[in-house]
Amino acid sequence: MIGTARSINQAGATRTCPHCRATILESAMVCPGCKHHLRFDKDARAGAVAATKMAWQIEGTLDAERLDSATEYSILVVVRNERNEEVARQVISVGALQGAERRTFSLSIETSDPKPAVLPARRR
């Protein structure tokens, strides 16, 4: 028996991107990580993409500290709530710079109004 489509109304609900396996918002039409399209419902076909706003962005450059040896780095992102409690912590990347090498890092936070997602019907 085939069920009916179910609507997701909980703001902040997450799912896994089927392309890159990142945890993303359930309401996302496009994965922010791999940029693959995830939903092709009537709203997506009509061009109604959730409006996002760049709430915060920072960019910086890291140069090797010495020309004669390597400099190692770790990129760590920590999210805290209003009580300064750690909500999430993740090492994003690690690496090393040799001699005159440099890396540029960008971090941005996009916000949007939650739009209920309609998931495919469940088979019973």
DSSP per-residue codes, 76-108:
EEEEE-TTS-EEEEEEEEEEEEETT-EEEEEEE
How many domains does the structure of the chain reveal?
A: 1
| Structural domain contains residue 85 | yes
Report the b/e string of 79-117 with b at 16+ CB within 10 A: eeeeeeeeeeeeeeeeeebeeeeeeeeeeeeeeeeebeb
Which pLDDT does position 49 carry in this prediction?
Answer: 52
Sign of the C-alpha dihedral, residues 92, 57, 61, 35?
A: positive
| Structural domain contains residue 1 | no
Which pLDDT does position 27 carry in this prediction?
Answer: 82
Tell me the pTM: 0.61
| Structural domain contains residue 43 | yes
Compute how many other C-beta atoms are within 10 angstroms of the C-beta atom of residue 30.
17
For 62-117, how does the pLDDT look when each residue is reduced to its tens digit (9 = 90+)? 998 888 889 999 999 999 999 999 999 999 999 999 989 999 999 999 888 776 55
Q: Which residue range is the domain that position 115 belongs to?
A: 6-119
For 6-47, how does the pLDDT look when each residue is reduced to its tens digit (9 = 90+)? 455 588 888 999 999 888 888 888 888 898 888 766 555 444
